[in-house]
Amino acid sequence: MIPPVLGVTYLGFPYFNIFIAAAVVAMAWEWSRMVNGGRFGYEGWILTGGLLATTASASMGLYVQSLLVLGLVGVLLLIIAESRRLTSGLPLHSQEMEQAVNPKRSLWTAVGAFYIGIPSLSLIWIRTDWEHGLLAVIWLMVLVWSADSGAYVAGRLIGGPKMAPKISPKKTWAGLGGCVVAAAVAGGIVAQVAGLEEFSMSKALIVSALVGLVSQGGDLVESAVKRYFSVKDSSQLIPGHGGVLDRVDALLAAIAAAAMINLTHNTVLIP
């Protein structure tokens, strides 16, 4: 899958945006089914439609409007959850109401709007509006791939105490260290090879290490969600590799972290 991803990233608009929209649809479908016991109902359609609207708005450079759409989707899903709870005719906070209505599924679907939407519109913003947008997206991909590899190698070679055994039994603190080191090295190499004079080596190392650390947090978050809902993979869309969310969980967190670092540095949403 790497060559097609790099290809659409290089081509940019509209191919990159169409690719993001397709990925958003897949992730919305996976998330909705994962938090709704394998069902894709009207809440899933609301989530998918809202995320597509967010992607379209971001593709037109309307980033503030994209955030507003996400907020509206979240509010709508929360209203649905409360309406179902109040009109169920069952005692509130009772086990019968939870089993028959299960309003939490709307709440979890609302969480998915932000979990998927924020990184997706951020990635479009990074590719389109950043001065070195293409390089930034490639940097993120290389950084996450390197962080995953570093975590795997360090975890296998060093082993040691588990980081979160109840969430992800195979992750170790040594693996986390390997992740941070590999991310820092990869980020520094990309900055050096690209010849970004305004991006000093020390800054490249620090930012890359931080984003790599956050990417592992993204991996843990999705593992926790899957364990909470007792599912092994988000789907089987990618044979032998699970679902799209399984493949991009770390990348989603890394994208959000990179966007936040840029926002706090520049103090504006649209540079």
Show the domain range for 241. Answer: 132-271
Last residue of a domain, one of 108, 129, 150: 129
One domain, residues 93 and 195: no
Closest to 214 in 3D by CA, of 237, 171, 183, 168: 183
pTM of this prediction exceeds 0.85? yes
Last residue of a domain, one of 79, 94, 129: 129
The predicted pLDDT at position 270 comes to 31
Number of separate helices (H) and strands (E) present in the chain: 10, 2
Query: 49 with 21: CB under 8 angstroms?
Result: no
Last residue of a domain, one of 98, 129, 160: 129
The stretch 241-247 carries a mean pLDDT of 91
CA distance 214 to 250: 8
One domain, residues 60 and 82: yes
CA distance 260 to 233: 28
One domain, residues 111 and 139: no
One domain, residues 98 and 83: yes
The predicted pLDDT at position 268 comes to 31
Is the pLDDT at 103 greater than 70, yes or no?
no
The stretch 120-146 carries a mean pLDDT of 90
Q: Check whether the bond before 14 is cis (ω within 30° of 0).
A: yes
The predicted pLDDT at position 267 comes to 32
Give residue 34's pLDDT band: very low, low, confident or very high (50, 70, 90). Answer: very high
One domain, residues 89 and 115: yes
The predicted pLDDT at position 194 comes to 74
Using one digit for the tens of pLDDT, what is the confidence trace for 141-171?
Answer: 999 999 999 999 998 888 888 888 888 888 8
One domain, residues 51 and 101: yes
Using one digit for the tens of pLDDT, what is the confidence trace for 181-213?
Answer: 999 999 888 877 876 655 677 888 888 999 999
What percentage of the chain exceeds 90 in pLDDT? Answer: 55
